[in-house]
Amino acid sequence: MKLAFFADVHSNLEALDACLAHARSRGVEQFVFLGDLVGYNADPEAVLSLAMDLVRREAAVAVQGNHDAAVAGAGHERMNAAAAQAIDWTRKRLPVPMIEFLAGLPLSIRQGQMLFVHASAASPGRWIYVTDTLRAAHSMEAAQATHIFCGHVHDPVLYYMGADHRPQPFIPVYGIPIPVGRHRHWLAMVGSCGQPRDGDPAARYVEMDTSRALMTFYRVPYDHLTAARKVREAGLPEEFARRLETGS
């Protein structure tokens, strides 16, 4: 079975459309949203409509991210002023059923030996950024799963842990399948679909082929200039438009 993982879509319809089309061309059978469907960018209603339809019609699954929780009413006290502005802007535009959808998303989903979560599996609701091997170890030990998929950190990286219980980071090469057998434990930070930050504006997602135990990181070009223009036209902070233009 092939699964596609999308994290940190952040109301970027153009990026999500491009990644979905690429994943469908690859024969993906299930879509997984790893949190932060909303925030930052200008198409929250369209993104949520698409995600909700995939959940309803195609057995896609989704977990809650911190921006989703904030829009649903959890507050944004820990966010910077620009991010908080986007949260308030988004909340005013969403109908009640979409707010309720975000509020009802689980913090994690377990599917066989895979765990889907937005941030650290050690404490999903604290929104801990897994940015080093120590935090990766905490997440992997708490998950009780062989394969963990998460977002929150917008840069893609893959951690693996062997018998010594010491996670090692691995920077994947886009488009090259990586063998990810169950003799090790794996933690995939899949990168951001809707707001990349590593210097390339292309959208990111990850494919997992469970039948062959292969994981592939993808970088998908999309119309990022249109997405940036929409941010400006919506009156959202200029820094979000520039990030889409530069990928940083």
Q: Mean pLDDT in runs of 10 for the chain (248 residues)?
A: 99 99 98 99 99 97 98 86 97 98 98 98 97 96 96 96 87 97 94 96 99 98 99 98 96
**Which residues make beta-bridge pairs with 204?**
219
Alpha-carbon radius of gyration of the chain: 17
CA distance 82 to 94: 19
CA 52 to chain centre: 15
* pTM (two decimals): 0.97
CA distance 234 to 31: 29
CA distance 81 to 6: 26
* The pLDDT value given to residue 144: 92
* The pLDDT value given to residue 108: 98
131-136 CB contacts, 8 Å cutoff, 24+ apart: 133/159, 133/166, 133/167, 133/168, 133/169, 136/161, 136/167, 136/169, 136/187
133 contact partners, CB below 8 Å, separation of at least 6: 159, 166, 167, 168, 169
What fold does the segment set 2-110+175-182+192-246 form as a domain? Answer: Purple Acid Phosphatase; chain A, domain 2 (3.60.21)
